[in-house]
């Protein structure tokens, strides 16, 4: 029985921000525009810093509608990154992080069974999905592609699903908010 979750930043963990706010704002309209579309060759890394350094360090950072992975997390989760979108190198401190721009956008929202205002389709109060349209773990839907990364579980063995592997390895920095279940 599949379930769909929204991927969120765990507020107990550090997050990254751009050192140059003006450049960040201009890049949000260009190469850091993670709205489900590829940014390809236009992507440029920005100099980042940790806003709240006394918080715990994550293994996976949620930043600007993208996920950013520490090298040890990439080693384990590479298959899911390959399936889900574009990956970019982000030099940070003494290592290179991997930014994932999720470009796997599925038309799988069951609009007849979901609860949302037709004039504000990106604000969904109650989600329903077509289970037979779900496949790869990480994805976005057209309606919320500007603001949400989603993950499905229950389609494969736990060792073959993003959420289960993140939890089994104890990778920190994310939380999963259940939106829907087919049961």
pLDDT for position 15:
93
Can you tell me the distance from the alpha carbon of 31 to that of 121, in angstroms, rounded to the nearest whole number?
25
Can you tell me the distance from the alpha carbon of 169 to that of 149, in angstroms, rounded to the nearest whole number?
20
pLDDT for position 25:
80
Q: Is residue 95 located within the same domain as residue 125?
A: no
Structural domain of 137: 105-181
Q: Is residue 149 located within the same domain as residue 161?
A: yes
Q: Is residue 82 located within the same domain as residue 119?
A: no
In a domain, 3, yes or no: no
Give pLDDT tens digits for 26-41. Answer: 887 778 889 999 998 8
Give the domain-ending residue among 68, 101, 134.
Answer: 101
Average pLDDT over the chain reads 93
pLDDT for position 23:
84
Give pLDDT tens digits for 42-96. Answer: 899 999 999 999 999 999 998 868 999 999 999 999 999 999 999 999 999 999 9
Q: Is residue 20 located within the same domain as residue 80?
A: yes
Task: Give the pTM.
Answer: 0.94
Please indicate whether residue 24 or residue 169 has the higher confidence score (pLDDT). 169
pLDDT for position 93:
96
Q: Is residue 26 located within the same domain as residue 89?
A: yes
Can you tell me the mean pLDDT for 18-25?
85
Q: Is residue 126 located within the same domain as residue 59?
A: no
Can you tell me the distance from the alpha carbon of 87 to that of 68, in angstroms, rounded to the nearest whole number?
9
Q: Is 26 helix (H, G, I), strand (E, B) or coil?
A: helix
């Amino acid at each position: 029985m599949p379930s769909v979750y929204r991927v969120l930043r765990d507020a107990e963990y550090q997050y990254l921000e751009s050192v140059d706010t003006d450049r960040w704002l201009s890049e949000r309209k260009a190469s850091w525009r993670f709205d489900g579309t590829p940014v390809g060759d236009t992507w440029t890394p920005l100099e980042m810093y940790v806003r709240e350094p006394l918080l715990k360090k994550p293994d996976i950072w949620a930043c600007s509608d993208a996920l950013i992975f520490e090298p040890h997390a990439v080693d384990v989760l590479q298959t899911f990154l390959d399936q889900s979108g574009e990956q970019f190198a982000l030099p940070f401190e003494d290592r290179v992080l991997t930014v994932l721009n999720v470009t796997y956008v599925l038309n799988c929202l069951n609009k007849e069974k979901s609860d949302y205002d037709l004039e504000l389709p990106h604000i969904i109060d109650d989600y329903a999905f077509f289970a037979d349209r779900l496949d790869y773990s990480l994805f976005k839907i057209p309606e919320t592609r500007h603001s949400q990364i989603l993950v499905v579980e229950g389609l494969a063995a736990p060792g073959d699903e993003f959420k289960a592997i993140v939890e089994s390895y104890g990778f920190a920095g994310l939380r999963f908010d259940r939106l829907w279940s087919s049961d």
